[in-house]
Amino acid sequence: MQHAEFVRSAKSRQRYWARNFVGWTQFSCHQPNSAHRVLQQWEERGKLHWLVTQNVDALHSKAGQKRLTELHGCTHRVICLGCGAISAREELQRRFVSLNPDWGTQAGAVAPDGDVFLEDEQVLHFRVPSCDVCGGILKPEVTFFGDSVKKGTVQFVHDRLAESDAVLVVGSSLQVYSGYRFLLAASDRKMPVAIVNIGTTRADHLAELKVIGRCGDVLSVIHPL
């Protein structure tokens, strides 16, 4: 979803939220895997200073991670574009059900962000609530395409990087600049970089160590659960 389109078009918002509504129950039930759990245990033992994730699925939070920055936000939170009020996505789901008691449709597979594919005619009568504080537009508290990460968040992560000894990349290709920038900053600081990923990443040339494999398998060998 393009940020500008979401803000500009009520029909685009209707289509987005209808698809998200259908996929939410399955998406929100996802649970942390072994990689999430190992990283949380590293935090508990003082080995992990700060975790930065580009994922928006809340799985690190579900694993108990506290020293965490969700760089692109989180789909489990909803923000009002009018007054800035933050609310729980689960509460919005209840409002969707209340507003659309007779609405139902069939959908295909659920995407990683909770989206599903629906035909335009399937969403024509889907009703979308407004902010119950100011009547403004509700949006997932995530960074859509065409939007950018808040400057304050970027600076906060740079500050945590400056406090760290090294950088470990786990399960990211780093194709998106919002995350890759911190690897460039680590390189400028002459900080050691290690990468665990199945395929190539944008920062392979910056890494002193690269392990190719599934994150859960690799981290569980390093730190058995």
Residues annotated in a binding site for Zn(2+): 80, 83, 131, 134
> Do residues 141 and 86 lie in contact, with contact meaning Cβ atoms separated by under 8 Å?
yes
- Residue stretches of the annotated binding site: 80, 83, 131, 134
Active-site residue, from 36, 60, 72, 76: 72
| The two structure tokens encoding residue 180 | 């890759």
- Dist CA 202 CA 127 (whole Å): 42
Residue 72 annotated to the active site? yes
Which stretches within 29-165 are classed as H helix? Answer: 34-44, 59-62, 89-99, 151-162
User: Which among 172, 186, 175, 180 has a CA at the least distance from the CA of 215?
Assistant: 172
Name the DSSP letter for residue 2: B
d(CA 146, CA 1): 9
Active site members: 72
